[in-house]
Structure 1
Amino acid sequence: MKILLVEDEVLIALEQQLYLESVGHSVVGPAITATEAMELAEADKPDLALVDVHLGMGTNGIDAARGLNALGVPCLFITSFRDELKKDGPLTGIGCLPKPFTESGLLAAVDVARAILAGETPRNVPQTMELFV
């Protein structure tokens, strides 16, 4: 899968990229603002976006996810701020994997998203992952 990282913490983005590329995914980004996420998605349409809630320059991932969804890019939140996803109306996205995450947790969450997008029943859903669909 081609995966867009929407994450303003450089070390976390590098960690995600390392884990994802180690199993054959291609990675776009990271985008550190909602605007940058939209620009990257328009230029190189990803299959999935991994989105943090708090982004750089005062932007937020919830707005980024709404914009990405409008472009047809499904989103999976990877964040420490799960509660904030529920305070701004309907949830946008496939689900949420809370930080801190493990390599196996992140890869399993991406596989769950892949299965849902393919119309399959997901298996091996990480215990800490919350699905919105």
Structure 2
Amino acid sequence: MIAMIKRQAVKFLLVGIMNTAFGYGLFALFIYLGLYYPLAVLFSTILGVLFNFKTIGKLVFGSSDNGLIFRFILVYIITYLLNIYFLWLFKKFGFENMYINGFVLLIPLAAVSFLLNKFFVFRR
């Protein structure tokens, strides 16, 4: 069981690099275009969900079950709200650079996402 979780976590990280590049690239683009950070996160999240659902489901958890999309979306709503909260908190404490703030949040939000996907979305 632990070996399987470790294997999935490694796959999740590798697939996550690709997904993160896609999602963070969109976030940075939207910030560059002048969108307010909650909208930048929202739009990059919405576009990333469809891409990530297939890559995470198939490549990490071996699932092609499209019926899990609603649970997957719920995970993204949770991570979106956490992301917005912590970006707001960083800003409140004087950390104004949204590029750095978004980057700092990548690892902790990835951990939350893995756990929710493993035990809520793609559980067996």
TM > 0.5 fold call: no
Q: Which structure ranks higher in relative contact order (CA pairs < 8 Å, sequence separation ≥ 6)?
A: 2
- Name the structure with the higher helix share: 2
TM-score (norm 1): 0.28
